[in-house]
Amino acid sequence: SQTIHQWPATLVQPVGSPLSLECTVEGTSNPNLYWYRQAAGRGLQLLFYSVGIGQISSEVPQNLSASRPQDRQFILSSKKLLLSDSGFYLCAWSVVRGYTFGSGTRLTVV
Amino acid sequence: SQQGEEDPQALSIQEGENATMNCSYKTSINNLQWYRQNSGRGLVHLILIRSNEREKHSGRLRVTLDTSKKSSSLLITASRAADTASYFCATDDASGTYKYIFGTGTRLKVLA
């Protein structure tokens, strides 16, 4: 079966520290992968998407970057976190019928 | 940029009543989807309606799509307390990249 794993579930990081969030997909090959961010009580903002290994499209200028070192692995990173990076980060992969989301990572930058 | 906008932002109803949420979007689409999010959790796909469809049903869910008005509605019939969640519409940009833009959501509260 097809599943998506995202970790950690929660993270508290100081301002200026680095970030690495990982997302892996099982049960499919060559998926389209996405990173979204959701501010408290708000909708989802598309950050990055990838249609293949090493192929990253950035949707908004920001303090974050993404990488796809393997077909089923998508990583969200930052060299130095800002307070405004706090939020709920969701990884997703797409099939014809829509997205399957991971369970999300709640990041609090203090 | 925001493609979908849900209306109302918040809705509170009694158990057993019907809940209707609306979504408006701006550009041409291939399909529109509705998702549900329980507090602090990931989103769960509910239903997809294609641009050439006008209505679709799934259990207690009924979705309509009016491409001439660039709008969609989600109807939940005979609501239950367990339906309490936020509901989002998502639209593609017809570019074929499976890239979806989400609205700001409707927070539904069903009172027992």
B87-106 confidence digits (pLDDT tens): 999 998 777 666 888 888 99
Is-contact B75 B61, C-beta < 8 A?
yes
Question: A71: closest CA among A101, A86, A48, A50?
Answer: A50
Query: In the predicted model, is pLDDT for residue B2 greater than 50?
Result: no
Give dist(CA B88, CA B99) in Å, integer: 15
B29-76 confidence digits (pLDDT tens): 889 999 999 988 889 999 999 999 999 999 999 999 999 999 999 999
Cβ pair B43:A90 closer than 8 A: yes
Give dist(CA A1, CA A99) in Å, integer: 15
Give dist(CA B80, CA B18) in Å, integer: 9
Cβ pair A43:B105 closer than 8 A: yes
- What is the pLDDT confidence band of residue B3, given thresholds at 50, 70 and 90? low
Is-contact B26 B69, C-beta < 8 A?
no
Q: Summarize the confidence of residues A49-64 as an average pLDDT.
A: 88
The H or E element containing residue B92 is strand B85-92
Q: Which residues of A touch B101 (CB under 8 A)?
A: 46
| Nearest-CA distance A105 → chain B (Å) | 9
**Which residue is closest to A49 within chain B, CA to CA?**
B99
Cβ pair B42:A46 closer than 8 A: no
| Nearest-CA distance B61 → chain A (Å) | 16
Written in H, E and C, the secondary structure of B63-85 is EEEECCCCEEEEEECCCCHHHCE
Is-contact A37 A95, C-beta < 8 A?
no
The vertex-B103 CA angle with B70 and A77, nearest 5°, equals 135
E strand map for A1-110: 3-7, 10-13, 19-26, 32-38, 44-52, 55-58, 65-70, 73-78, 87-95, 98-101, 105-109
Residues of B with a Cβ under 8 Å from any A Cβ are 2, 33, 35, 40-45, 48, 88, 90, 97-105, 107
Residues of A with a Cβ under 8 Å from any B Cβ are 6, 32, 34, 36, 41-44, 46, 49, 51, 88, 90, 92, 94, 97-104, 106
